[in-house]
Structure 1
Amino acid sequence: MITPIIHRFDEVGSTNDVALEMARKGAPEGTVVLARSQTKGRGRRGRTWLAKPGESLILTTILRPPPERYRQMAFVAAVAVAECLEQECGLEPQIKWPNDVLINDRKICGVLTESASGAVVIGIGVNVLQTDFPEEIANRATSVAIEQICTPLALSNEVYPSADRPGLPSANGAGCSQPIGVDALAESIVRHLFAAYELSFEEILVRWRKYIWGLGRPVDVTTEGGTITGMITGIDSDGALLIDEDGGIRRVLSADAINVRMSPSLQSEI
């Protein structure tokens, strides 16, 4: 399995941007950028990732799969996070296609993959220590601290210099003051990610389907070509979302999807 090479920062604009620049300069597979805070965090389609310093796990890793595997990396990352939250934290995660991780229908993790210079950078943001959220997202966001304290990871608001604890040695020598719970979770997610990376896409999809959110539930899928309303029936062998729309199966590619949400119109009919 890949050995992680960790670069720690107290603050960056975006861990993905830092990793992309490192990839362009030839950084090896397994390079990880870990930050306590970022000022320009982003998600899919330019959405903003909001977090106070030290409350979220913010990391990006560089992998160098063959080009035909690039699009698979978002599924790999989502499975890794879901398995980590389930096995290490005792939570019951679900994956909202294609790669958001939810707990009780609320988002706890986002994944953003980008490619450059023969590499894929995988950005992962997990809400860990937050106990409340801004009003505009309070009804659709959650954190590890809100759902359940992760006893094995010793979640805490205390901070320790990275040099004072084992695990994830820092390649750049930065003594980033990171909450120990966030750092322990980062170590676990990196381990799960690199293990999942070794699996075939068929194996990843089997694991992904275990966590599928919304199966058999009514959804509106907003795409570049309009809105598809129907029931989620699963994903196919390419990872495309399958929607039963009036008895016909519609196939939606992740590149075409803008948003997936529960459908109020169909909910009122069942």
Structure 2
Amino acid sequence: MAMASSTSDPGTVEPLDHEQLMTALAAAEVPWNDITFLEVTGSTNSDLVSKATAGEAATGSVIIADSQTAGRGRLGREWESEPGTTLSFSVMLAAPAPATQLLPLVVGLAVVRAASPGEQATIELKWPNDLLVDGKKAAGILAEAVPGGAVVGCGINVSTPVERLPVPEATSLALHGIEVERTTLLAQVLIETFAGYDRLVEAGYNPEASGLLAEFRRRCGTLGREVRVQLPDQTSVTGRATDVDDQGRLVLEGPDGQQILSVGDVTHLRH
């Protein structure tokens, strides 16, 4: 997959080009046909969840914000995104209840494919869906169930300079020499998202038959590692991550045997 390069050095501020985005999506014939652009919002996920709950959103609905003041992450964490250097967006995808846990995998893989830098850096997913570049977090994904499917939100540090990053473990694409315009990256993520989603739907939401699970396993840097997983109740478990099952859950082999985890915050300990 080819991407247009740019001069997105760390700290570069780029406005989103709405017309360029819509032209790229139309050319790819992907049905993102309900797109809302916001200059600033608290959380694109909160906004789209509200629309979906009210019956005003369906597959094809997208909310994009140039800046978020109360972005939402796993385990109730909040974060902010600065205008011009990050991407913040949420999409609505329909699926039967058992398959909604697969939808963040679809989006995570779309981000990996869209941001793939070739040999410039090691880019991989950390279960459940953080994007790591050379071991540091450059993007995060959060899915929230809504009637008829899920809202999947994504935040990507595109050209955030090191002094603006929230924690030492964070990074941005530009800090690793990955040069891509924000508009180009967003268009490609949305195109790849719908392509992956369409394959999943065509396979009857079967992640094996669609190829989703095989690709996720290949791209997931968590598998084969010793990890610590913080659970929603603030307890944690440790063990070796051995697989991701057909519901997108992490299979952990630990001192007390095998555990199947559907949610948690993973820390990679060692190979």
Taking structure 1 as the reference length, what is the TM-score of the superposition?
A: 0.78
Aligned residue in 1 for 2:24: none
Deviation at 1:252, TM superposition (A): 2.8
Q: Is the alpha carbon distance of 1:89 and 1:74 closer, same or farther for their aligned partners in structure 2, counting shifts above 3 Å?
A: farther
**In 1: Cα distance, 2:56 partner to 2:223 partner:** 41
Q: Is the 8 A contact 2:60 2:91 kept in 1?
A: yes
DSSP 3-state at the match of 2:195: helix
Structure 1's unaligned 5+ residue stretches are: 154-180
> Residues 103-139 of structure 1: CA distance to partner in whole angstroms, max 9, x if unpaired?
11111111111122324111011000112145760x2
Aligned residue in 1 for 2:220: 212
Q: Is the 8 A contact 1:242 1:249 kept in 2?
A: no
Q: Is the alpha carbon distance of 1:145 and 1:217 closer, same or farther for their aligned partners in structure 2, counting shifts above 3 Å?
A: same
Aligned residue in 1 for 2:40: 11
Q: More displaced, 117-126 or 184-193?
A: 117-126
> Residues 81-122 of structure 1: CA distance to partner in whole angstroms, max 9, x if unpaired?
111111689653211111111111111111111122324111
Mapping for residues 6-155 of structure 1, pairs under 5 Å: 6-23=35-52, 24-86=54-116, 91-134=121-164, 137=167, 139-150=168-179, 153=180
1:251 and 2:259 correspond: yes
> Residues 9-67 of structure 1: CA distance to partner in whole angstroms, max 9, x if unpaired?
11111111221222224223211111100111111121122322221111111122222
Mapping for residues 158-173 of structure 1, pairs under 5 Å: none
Q: Is the alpha carbon distance of 1:230 and 1:132 closer, same or farther for their aligned partners in structure 2, counting shifts above 3 Å?
A: same
Q: Is the 8 A contact 2:230 2:237 kept in 1?
A: yes
Counterpart code for 2:224:
G
* Count of residues in correspondence between the two structures: 232
Counterpart code for 2:32:
P
Counterpart code for 1:228:
V
Structure 2's unaligned 5+ residue stretches are: 1-28, 201-206
Structure of higher CA gyration radius = 1
Q: Is the alpha carbon distance of 1:145 and 1:226 closer, same or farther for their aligned partners in structure 2, counting shifts above 3 Å?
A: same
Q: Is the 8 A contact 1:55 1:129 kept in 2?
A: yes
% identical aligned pairs: 30
Taking structure 2 as the reference length, what is the TM-score of the superposition?
A: 0.77
Aligned residue in 1 for 2:267: 261
